[in-house]
């Protein structure tokens, strides 16, 4: 496919997507307003960006960052920290903080994300199971909550945490909308559940104008190298929610005797503040970029999920290719269009923990940051690539020109 033809397909898709883009821009604007109000309410000032050291007693940058996130998420309290190492770590700390021996963790959105499998059920590695905490789940049915099985699951009074994963993870299903999450939370309460409703919020932040903690969830958790870090946070995670729950979790993040009173960061907090300030816009860029790539590939006959006709509820998108070569070509094109490591020739490899070979494009400024344009795929049938992110719409558009040229050549 030559440059003129790729440009024609892209421009046609942009025209068709104009109304959807406007909707996404309206969401970004509403979220920017929400973030600005929180910055002003908390009187953010230069001193909050200062470095701290040692125990970090009285570290205003840390404490105010917590308060800022709590306000943005409509929650009572938050833990936002470079000492939360990733989304998986945030989820782990949250669950261990809330659950005790004999309790049951009940997932109502099916199997949790891959990296939680061992956290929940690993043998002799310090998993929840090792501490006598049991796990139950009920599957979504065609992307919808199964209210009958939720009700019967909740008849077990040992259930102390109800778990919901907002994003689709690596599955061919849509992410859950806030509307669906709100209805599920209401239903769980109507069954008499008095424990904690806990949401894995990874990839979902700022995609809609409200967050799960504003729709009935007690705690929600995510990574700062995804949406909420706005592409500039260098590392970290967050946990927001009801104060009692956050206090319990803080005791687990550090130690029961010190909770959220300690924790320092020698590089200072500027990029965490700046990141959440940028996040509504950056998430919008990623969503628009994902729609554009999806629309162009749908025009060429590939299936994408969610379909480009429907509103996206997270920043990820899956594309189904016909052949192994097309799949690998797509991932390679994303790498070649990256600002970092563009010269690297990607190949599938035997990644630890995976049954089949995997190929990953991650030419990112922050290692593994999936708010930046990135893509990966297990190399097996059906040939599905998952991609997400893009700090700017222009970068997504640029990457798309490379993708179109590459997969059409094959």
Write phi, then psi, for 259 (nearest 5 degrees).
50, -135
Mark 91-110 with x for binding to ligand PLP (rule: CB under 6 A) and - for no binding.
--------------------
- Residue 86 binds ligand PLP (CB under 6 A): yes
202 touching ligand PLP, by CB under 6 A: yes
User: Which residue number, 150 or 369, has a Cβ lying nearer to ligand PLP?
Assistant: 369
390: helix, coil or strand? Answer: coil
Interactions with ligand PLP, residue window 112-171 (CB under 6 A):
113, 115, 165, 167, 169
C-alpha distances (whole Å) from 126 to each of 119, 131, 134, 385 are 8, 7, 13, 33
Q: Which of residues 221-250 bind ligand PLP (CB under 6 A)?
A: 223
Nearer to ligand PLP, 114 or 244 (CB): 114
Task: Give whichever of 44 and 253 is closer to ligand PLP, judged by the CB atom.
Answer: 253
Three-class SS state of 136: strand
> Taking contact as CB under 6 A, which single stretch among the options 50-58, 86-94, 132-140, 286-294 is the one that binds ligand PLP?
86-94
Q: Interaction with ligand PLP in 171-200: which residues (CB under 6 A)?
A: 200
Closest CB 175 distance from ligand PLP, rounded Å: 9
CA angle 29, 34, 38 (to 5 degrees): 145
Residue among 225 and 295 whose Cβ is closer to ligand PLP: 225
Provide the minimum distance between the beta carbon of 386 and ligand PLP in the complex, in angstroms, as a whole number.
10
The minimum distance between CB 330 and ligand PLP, in angstroms, equals 20
- Strand residue runs (E) in 140-236: 159-165, 196-200, 219-223
Q: How far apart are CA 207 and CA 291, in angstroms?
A: 13
Under the criterion CB under 6 A, does residue 387 sit at the interface with ligand PLP?
no
Residue 367 — φ and ψ, nearest 5°? -55, 125
Candidates 142, 144, 190, 192; CA nearest to 164 is 144
Contact 153, 136 (CB under 8 A): yes
- Nearest residue (beta carbon) to ligand PLP: 87
Task: Establish if 291 lies at the interface with ligand PLP (CB under 6 A).
Answer: no
The minimum distance between CB 257 and ligand PLP, in angstroms, equals 28
CA distances from 310 to 11, 183, 290, 373 (A): 20, 20, 12, 21
CB 93 within 8 A of CB 149: no
For ligand PLP, the binding residues (CB under 6 A) are 86-88, 113, 115, 165, 167, 169, 200, 202-203, 223
């Amino acid at each position: 496919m030559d440059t003129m033809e790729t440009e024609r397909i892209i421009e046609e898709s942009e025209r068709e997507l104009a109304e959807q883009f406007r909707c996404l821009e309206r969401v970004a604007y509403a979220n920017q307003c929400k973030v600005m109000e929180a910055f002003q309410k908390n009187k953010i000032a230069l001193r909050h960006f200062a470095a701290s050291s040692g125990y970090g007693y009285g570290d205003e940058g840390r404490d105010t960052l917590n308060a800022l996130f709590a306000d943005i998420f409509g929650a009572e309290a938050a833990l936002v920290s470079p000492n939360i190492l990733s989304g998986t770590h945030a989820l782990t700390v949250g669950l261990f903080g809330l659950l005790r021996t004999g309790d049951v963790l009940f997932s109502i959105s099916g199997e949790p994300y891959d990296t939680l499998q061992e956290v929940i059920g690993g043998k002799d590695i310090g998993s929840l199971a090792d501490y006598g905490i049991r796990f139950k789940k009920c599957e979504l049915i065609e992307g919808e909550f199964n209210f009958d099985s939720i009700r019967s699951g909740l008849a077990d009074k040992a259930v102390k945490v109800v778990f919901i994963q907002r994003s689709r993870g690596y599955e061919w299903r849509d992410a859950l909308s806030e509307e669906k999450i709100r209805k599920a939370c209401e239903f769980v309460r109507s069954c008499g559940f008095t424990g904690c409703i806990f949401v894995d919020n990874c990839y979902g932040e700022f995609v809609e104008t409200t967050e799960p903690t504003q729709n009935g969830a007690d705690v929600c958790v995510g990574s700062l190298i995804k949406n909420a870090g706005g592409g500039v946070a260098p590392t970290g995670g967050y946990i927001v929610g009801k104060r009692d729950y956050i206090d319990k979790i803080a005791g687990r993040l550090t130690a029961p005797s010190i909770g959220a009173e300690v924790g320092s960061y020698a590089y200072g907090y500027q990029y965490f503040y700046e990141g959440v300030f940028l996040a509504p816009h950056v998430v919008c860029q990623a969503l628009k970029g994902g729609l554009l790539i999806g629309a162009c590939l749908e025009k060429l006959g590939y299936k994408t999920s969610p379909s480009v006709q429907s509103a996206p509820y997270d920043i990820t998108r899956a594309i189904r290719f016909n052949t192994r070569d097309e799949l690998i070509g797509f991932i390679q094109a994303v790498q070649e269009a990256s600002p970092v490591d563009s010269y690297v020739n990607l190949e599938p490899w035997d990644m630890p923990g995976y049954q089949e070979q995997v190929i990953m494009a991650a030419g990112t400024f922050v290692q593994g940051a999936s708010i930046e344009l990135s893509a990966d795929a297990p190399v097996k049938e059906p040939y599905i690539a998952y991609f997400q992110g893009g700090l700017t719409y222009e970068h997504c558009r640029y990457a798309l020109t490379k993708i179109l040229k590459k997969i059409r050549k094959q």
